[in-house]
Amino acid sequence: METQIPILITLTVLAGIFGGLVSYFGFPDGRSALRRPEPDTTGASAADPASTPVPAQPVPTDTSVWQPVVRGVGAAFLVPLFLKIADSKLVDTSNPAQLSGWQFFIYGGFCLAAAISSRAFIGSVSRQVIALAADAKRNSERAMRKSAAAQLRSEAAMEISQSATAASVEAQKVGETVQADIEQAKENQVKFASVIWRTAAAAARPAAAQTFKGPAPGIRGVAGHADNEEMASDPAKGRFGGLADRDGWRIGATVTPVDSSRTFFRVTLEVTASDEAQVMSNQVAIHLHPTFKPDVVTAELGPDRTLAYTFQSLGAFTVGVEANNGKTLLELDLADPALVPNAPQEFRER
């Protein structure tokens, strides 16, 4: 294609010159200043405005042959631009193949036609170029608006993501604070349970079943009670012979948490007299920790020679039992895993 460019330039110049000459000599009335109509021979009245001839519009005048020639050459050089706008493949610079003679002939015809009608052709191409430029500007502005909108959406999405991240971090902090408050509340519940339960027991003391009034008897290792000698002591330890099974009499216990907090535990004592055991009296005295009010409870054996007694406690201590009018003594350490295997570890350690 590069070797044919000089040929195309030469063909364009020659077609422009020839078309300019055709325009100059082929349209002689185009050089007149005014295109006047034929004289009115109908005899219309001069007083009638409708019958008065209308002057023709001025027509551009070529005073020299060089004017249409130069204009024709310029119009011929606009042909490649016109072909590009029309998306024509007549002169395709991307195609390395050589142009044929027939294509040269068609291209020359385009240039000649453009040169002959150079005024109209130049105006038409100019308008198309201006329209294309305006379209390109509108498309560019539209693309810029879309880009700006996309950027705004991206920034909004980023802000939402950052807000969500901050909210997640804040929620995690709140969760940690709540968990710390729960742990602190549990600790405070253990520390101050004695006051709560003493107050409750002072308001109501059940007669049929003993309910724990103060803090758990025999609390071991609970902060706030180490200096309380009465809490830390276990006065029944060793006072009742140290045996949970004697002369056919036996004492056992089951321990379960009152609720999920595992702060208080439900203790059920069971005193049983076997068939071989001597039962001089159905009355049995149960000795609890001194923090219980009352700390000595009397219960009776049932027809099946057993009794069950339930109370609540924070921790373990030693229970003493007097049967047969005090002649049979039983002792049960609630912290001993061999005697009370089902007691939770928290209960034993308090």
Binning pLDDT at 50, 70 and 90, where does residue 254 land?
A: very high
Binning pLDDT at 50, 70 and 90, where does residue 269 land?
A: very high
pTM given for the model: 0.40
Q: What are phi and psi of 340, to 5 degrees?
A: -125, 75
Q: What is the pLDDT of residues 120-155, one digit of tens each?
A: 888 888 888 788 778 888 888 889 889 889 989 999
- Rounded average pLDDT over 332-340: 93
Q: DSSP 3-state assignment of 331?
A: strand
Pair of tokens at residue 302 = 């049932």
Q: Lowest-confidence range among 23-27, 88-92, 220-224?
A: 220-224
For residue 174, give Cα distances in angstroms to 42, 110, 166, 177, 181.
105, 81, 12, 5, 10
- Rounded average pLDDT over 93-109: 68
Tell me, what's the pLDDT at 321? Answer: 95
Tell me, what's the pLDDT at 201? Answer: 43
DSSP string, 196-260: HHHHHHHH---SSS----SSPTT--S-TT-TT-HHHH--TTTTTTTT-SEETTEEEEEEEEESST
Q: What is the pLDDT of residues 75-90, one digit of tens each?
A: 888 888 888 877 777 6
End-to-end CA distance of the chain: 103
- Domains of the chain are 2-36+44-116 (no CATH), 229-349 (2.60.40)
- What is the pairing mode between strands 318-323 and 283-287? antiparallel
- CB distance 105 to 14 below 8 Å: no
Amino acid in the structure at residue 15: A
Cα radius of gyration rounded to whole Å, the chain: 59
Tell me, what's the pLDDT at 237? Answer: 92
